[in-house]
Amino acid sequence: MKHDLINQSILNRELFSGQEEGTYFTQDLYNFFCDNYEDPHLLFKIKIKGYYQKLYKWTDVETEQFIEDHKDESVKWTDGNQEYYYDWGKGKNQVTEDYLHFPNLDHIDPHSLSKDNRPENFRIRCRRLNENRGNTNNDNERRATIIDMFNDMDSFEQESLLKYLQTTKKS
C-alpha cells in the first residue's frame, strides 16, 4: 500500500546533517539538531520551535509544555484501518507531501471564531483532517459533515468504519 511505503520511508529516514535554513529554520535550531540527533521526537520539536512558536508568539515555557504534552500524539494517527506516521521533516528532511502524513496544529476552537492561539487550544492533526474540519465548532455541524462524508463512501468502507466506531465508543 502507498501509505505503508510512506510510513517506512518516514521511519527509515536518515536526517540531513548539513546546515541549511530550509531544513532547520535557524542556526540555533541546527545546533539543537546536532546536540539532540538521537532524540526520536527531534523533527517534531524543531518544527514546533522553528515555526509554530514564532507564528503563534508562544513563550519558551509554553512551547516546551506543548511539546511535552503532545509528544506521543506527534508520532502517528490512525483512521481505524491504516496508521499514518507524521512527516515533521522540512527541506532535506521531508519525505512526503501527502496530506495524510503532513502534520498541522489544529485549533480546537476555530481561530476564525475564537482568535485563541494559546497552546492549550491546539492539537495535532494531519493536514487533510484539519482542512476537512474547517470551522465546524459544534456537534451539529460535525455530525452533518460526518454523515455527508459517510454517505460518499462505498458500502465496504462504511461497514469498516462502523466496526471501528463500535470499538471507540465513549461511555
Write the pLDDT tens digit of every residue in 47-82: 999 999 999 999 999 999 999 999 999 999 998 889
**Who's near 58: CB < 8 A, 6+ residues apart?**
52, 66, 119
Helices (H), 36-168: 42-47, 53-56, 60-70, 111-114, 127-133, 139-151, 155-167
Indicate if the alpha-carbon torsion angle 98, 103, 109, 114 is positive or negative. Answer: negative
Tens digit of each residue's pLDDT (9 = 90 or more) over 111-133: 767 788 999 999 999 998 888 76
CB 128 within 8 A of CB 114: no
User: What residue ranges do the domains of the chain occupy?
Assistant: 2-134, 138-171
Question: What pLDDT is stored for residue 68 in this prediction?
Answer: 98
Share of the chain above pLDDT 90, in %: 64
CB 104 within 8 A of CB 84: no
Tens digit of each residue's pLDDT (9 = 90 or more) over 134-164: 666 666 666 777 777 888 889 998 998 888 8
DSSP letter, residue 84: E
